[in-house]
Structure 1
Amino acid sequence: MSDYLPLHEAVIPELPNYYRGKVRENYDLPDGRRILISTDRLSAFDRAIAAIPLKGQVLTQTARYWFERTADICPNHVLEYPDPNVVVGRRLEILPVEMVVRGYLAGTTGTSILTLYKQGRREMYGLTLPEGLSDNEALPQPILTPTSKAFDGGHDEPLSARQIVEGGLLTQAQWDTVSAYALALFARGQALSLERGLILADTKYEFGTDAQGRIVLADEIHTPDSSRYWFAASYPERFAAGGKPESFDKDFVRNWVVARCDPYTQDLPPIPQELIDQTSAVYVRAFETITGTPFAYPLRGEDPAARIRRNLARYF
């Protein structure tokens, strides 16, 4: 993978209203369109720790695969793809609730249902989970576990539907729409993933409203970074043994860093190229497994920033 140059950034001065995200460069055009460029930055520990060649293209093209296969369920923000790393979409007013859908008792964060369940909680997100569930076990049916950063100083806060509506984050009509969309998108994702030998265990969706107030799917959908995928063939045996399900392990770099320093307070040591290459290969494998199509590699040695600039010249 070292033959492919990473995209550290894509700053194009001729494009207006630049905003730098953790892994994306964003530009807002005067006519209501937004250009989103997925870089290869790997964000962890509240900073960019590396650039993984091909990562941005994998995420953009994986999301494209799913946007195209779910467009009959709900509208999405996509207008066109002028480059493998770029989507041009409608500019939306993002709704302040992230819709997380879970089909299994899994997760590692403080707001995940597995963490809460192991703490003894059965009432969460306005739902009641049954007793006797094991780690990574399938739930009786997929559930919505929405979160918002609106209530707690920027930290994800688990919420119930009632809290969301009574707190004014969404109207009842908006909640009814986004919850129905999220469950339908997840059902489609699980069905198509299983055809590819994968279990879509959980995922997250972001929605926004367009200029007409219509609710539109934004950001990305069912990518390896926004979703938890497990391999279906090995899941039963691993679950029966109490083991961790087999997944796309993309954490080579994160794990290596944590083993050598406190990444929140110390400088990072130089990251070996071998780890970066391994991570890049996992992203490509994820794309090909999820979509069932070969990855379209760029030209070896091509500067992705220069290519993106050429492909976006008509927007200057």
Structure 2
Amino acid sequence: MNAIKETNFSFPGQTAFYRGKVRDVYSFADKIVMVASDRISAFDVVLPEPIPYKGQVLNQIASIFLKATSDIVPNWVKSVPDPSVTIGIKCTTFPVEMVIRGYLAGHAWREYKAGKRTLCGVALPEGLKENDPLPSPIITPTTKASEGHDEDISREEILKQGLVSEEDYIVLEKYTRALFQRGTEIAKTRDLILVDTKYEFGHTDGKIYLIDEVHTPDSSRYFYAKGYEERQKKGEVQKQLSKEFVRQWLIENGFQGKEGQKIPQMTPEIVNNISERYIELFEKVTGENFKKPSSTEDIQERIKKNILNAINANN
């Protein structure tokens, strides 16, 4: 289905190339070109099969939300020359991801269920059920690992290790809470609940920027607002839009990224189902119809051409 597993371009003026878990990043003297591939990761492991349209979904949702939050914090985007490409300011990335949670779900619930009542230095009350709202949103940062697993870390430990200065960390916390509030308000207009999300920040020339993607299914979890209260009262599973369904499928098939575990077979049916769920989230979150590329279009050639045109236009 013409999914983008990886790109291997070479552009005039290119200074470096980096392949992340799901993105291919081309560096230039004053900017970076980020291609959102269709690779998918879970439990910090890249799964063997790409998911058609996933990169386009993430890139376009991120573009919409970066515009919608640009009054809160400056962001890295210079242009979006292709549905799967963003060109932006080259920043030095802060080595922590700012995770913020309004509800007890996903990783936080798994930790709570295991008996932990403190997460990243933040105390949690007794008596909570899975997917309950927290008394107020909590920030639970993680380290940003280039390889392997990201690890939970407290504010105190971040400052103690000198990962971020206290002055900068105060700003990151302020931005994180303001962005989550805006995301919550936007989600409400779409009859959704923004459950939790993560933000990444970078800096250059003494200025802090919001970088990477924002409020996408890979970085966020949404519940459908309709029926939420009723499902909670009955102890039923919440209807959600996020990548959690991929994690659950892996868990049910004996994989959580641990040593010795084997990734279950990703059949065409599974791949197609994941693709359809990503498109569903795009349309629900943005309120726009998703436009698939033509089945005869060479997506790699389109991406290369659009990047070249954007580079040449800025030279």
Q: Output the TM-score relative to the length of structure 2.
A: 0.88
Correspondence for 1:284 among 279, 282, 286: 279
C-alpha deviation, 1:253, in angstroms: 6.6
Contact 1:62–1:222 (8 Å) recurs in 2: yes
Question: Aligned partner of 1:130: which letter?
Answer: P
Cα separation, 2, equivalents of 1:121 and 1:154: 23
C-alpha deviation, 1:23, in angstroms: 1.2
Q: In structure 2, what is the equivalent of residue 200 of structure 1?
A: 194
Percent identity between matched residues is: 42
Q: In structure 1, what is the equivalent of residue 218 of structure 2?
A: 225
Q: In structure 2, what is the equivalent of residue 53 of structure 1?
A: 52
Stretch of structure 1 that moved more, 182-191 or 238-247: 238-247
Pairs within 5 Å for 1:102-251: 102-108=101-107, 112=108, 114-149=109-144, 155-210=149-204, 212-248=205-241
Q: In structure 2, what is the equivalent of residue 14 of structure 1?
A: 11
Cα separation, 2, equivalents of 1:73 and 1:82: 24
Contact 2:39–2:46 (8 Å) recurs in 1: no
Please give the secondary structure, in 1, of the residue aligned with 2:81.
Answer: strand
CA 1:277–1:313 in structure 2 vs 1: closer, same or farther (change >3 Å)? same
Cα separation, 2, equivalents of 1:278 and 1:221: 23
Cα separation, 2, equivalents of 1:123 and 1:47: 30
Stretch of structure 1 that moved more, 169-178 or 255-264: 255-264
Matched, 1:312 2:310: no
Question: Aligned partner of 2:37: which letter?
Answer: T
C-alpha deviation, 1:93, in angstroms: 0.5
Cα separation, 2, equivalents of 1:240 and 1:221: 31
Matched, 1:5 2:2: yes
CA 1:203–1:87 in structure 2 vs 1: closer, same or farther (change >3 Å)? same
C-alpha deviation, 1:247, in angstroms: 1.1
Cα separation, 2, equivalents of 1:254 and 1:7: 21
Contact 2:62–2:215 (8 Å) recurs in 1: yes
C-alpha deviation, 1:124, in angstroms: 3.2
Question: Aligned partner of 1:241: which letter?
Answer: K
CA 1:255–1:243 in structure 2 vs 1: closer, same or farther (change >3 Å)? closer
Correspondence for 1:294 among 252, 265, 289: 289
C-alpha deviation, 1:236, in angstroms: 1.1
Contact 1:288–1:294 (8 Å) recurs in 2: yes
C-alpha deviation, 1:249, in angstroms: 6.3
Stretch of structure 1 that moved more, 305-314 or 219-228: 305-314
Aligned residues, how many? 305
C-alpha deviation, 1:274, in angstroms: 2.3
Structure 1 segments unaligned to the other structure (5+ residues): none
Q: Output the TM-score relative to the length of structure 1.
A: 0.88
Please give the secondary structure, in 1, of the residue aligned with 2:58.
Answer: helix
Structure 2 segments unaligned to the other structure (5+ residues): none
Contact 2:221–2:242 (8 Å) recurs in 1: no
Contact 1:34–1:88 (8 Å) recurs in 2: yes
Contact 1:9–1:305 (8 Å) recurs in 2: no
Question: Aligned partner of 2:174: which letter?
Answer: A
Matched, 1:87 2:91: no
